[in-house]
Amino acid sequence: MKVYYTFDEIKRIPNLLNRLNEFDFSFSKEKKYLFVGCGSSYNIGFIMKEIMNKNGYKAKVLTGGHGMLFDNMPDSDVAILITRTGESTETVQAAKKLRQKGIKTIGITSSKNSSITQQCEENITLDFTEEKSVVMTGSFVVILAMLLNGIEKNDYYNFSEKILEDSEKIIDQLALEKYEHFVFLGYDENYGISKEGALKLQEMALQYVEYHEPLEYRHGPISTLTNKTLVILNSKGRKEEKELIDDIERLGGKVLVISTDGHIKIPDMKGFEAPLRLIPIQYLGYKKAVQMGYNPDSPKNLSKSVKLGG
């Protein structure tokens, strides 16, 4: 069987996480932060915003496109602009605009000497996370973990190997050829993880995807549930979520639970476990792509960075 770059870039996540002690980055509760990014990089910002606000920090998130097109920027002291390649036009242009407004800019990228590093006052370059595949996988996990360590240090490395091993074992046992509709559910930071999970299945495997808060699923979206639906629940362990699982299964859907006591077990770090929750989701996207006969390294209509003309 052909081995794709995407597979290697997911498998190396534990080794990448083991290098986080090379970075000393911290947030201040006295400052207001704005995260800016496109696609997966926006989702990193969304997850960070959720966790920071729950822990007494002030944070907002904006797409690079909004930052480029509109002047109504949220009031902020520091803007953190995330772009894996450092070349996404919208994020680079947003950085330029933010600097002109006198807001401190910090670029986060996997690429040395990229356009974002030339626009931002400060930069954190994680060049060891650079990826050959179009879809962002391991670099997402590591950038998110690095940023979260700026609030509270956690040992992601020691958990990651077992989670990766469990993810492969459990997802390999799923009859993925049966499923053609993927629904991701989660609250707060897990909503951002669900958004990113939906994007992975859409990008790599070209699947019909949705993402919702768990209890919102009954309010309309459940109407499209069939026996070809796989629901991925990033659970917080609430009994209401367990009742939802029962309803989904009664209607013929299949549920994969990622939680402290789920099918794939994740430690409870009060939200800081978010990077670890991405590992099974990324592997699921890869496996479905391969099952469909698609090349997960280079999906249709996509490139590593979006560069706008003009």
pLDDT the model gives residue 301: 65
- In this predicted structure, what is the pLDDT of residue 300? 72
Within the chain, all domains assigned CATH 3.40.50.10490 are found at 24-125, 156-292
Is residue 83 within 8 Å of residue 107, measured between CB atoms? yes
Using DSSP's 3-state secondary structure scheme, residue 123 falls into strand
CATH dotted code for 24-125: 3.40.50.10490
pLDDT per residue rounded down to tens, the chain (310 residues) = 688 999 999 999 999 999 998 888 999 999 999 999 999 999 999 999 999 999 999 999 999 999 999 988 899 999 999 999 999 999 999 999 999 999 999 999 999 889 999 999 999 999 999 999 999 999 999 999 999 999 999 999 999 999 999 999 999 999 999 999 999 999 999 999 999 999 999 999 999 999 999 999 999 999 999 999 999 999 999 999 999 999 999 999 999 999 999 999 999 999 999 999 999 999 999 999 999 999 999 887 665 555 666 4
- With residue 200 as reference, give the H or E element that holds it: helix 189-205
Is residue 4 within 8 A of residue 11, CB to CB? The reply is: no
Query: Is residue 212 within 8 Å of residue 194, measured between CB atoms?
Result: yes
pLDDT at position 72 is 86
CA dist., res. 300 & res. 309, Å (int):
20
DSSP letters, 141-181, are HHHHHHHHTTTS---HHHHHHHHHHHHHHHHHTS-GGG--E
Q: Which residues pair with 33 in a beta bridge?
A: 59, 78
Residue with tokens 């299945």: 201
Beta-sheet strands, E only, within the chain: 32-37, 58-63, 78-82, 104-109, 122-125, 181-186, 208-212, 229-234, 254-259, 264-265
> Side-chain half-sphere of 247: how many Cα atoms within 13 Å?
14
**pLDDT at position 307, please?**
63
Which residues, listed in sequence order, are joined to residue 79 by a DSSP beta bridge? 34, 105
Phi-psi region of 257 (alpha: psi -120 to 50; beta: other; left: phi over 0): beta
CA distance 106 to 103: 10
Residues 6+ apart with CB under 8 A from 128: 16, 19
Q: CB of 148 within 8 A of CB of 189?
A: no
pLDDT of residue 302: 62
Maximum CA pair distance of the chain? 56
Chain centroid to CA 94: 21
- In terms of phi and psi (left: phi > 0; alpha: psi -120 to 50; beta: otherwise), the region of 70 is beta
Q: What is the structure's pLDDT at 247?
A: 98
Q: What's the pLDDT score for residue 299?
A: 80
Q: What homologous superfamily does CATH list for 156-292?
A: Glucose-6-phosphate isomerase like protein; domain 1 (3.40.50.10490)
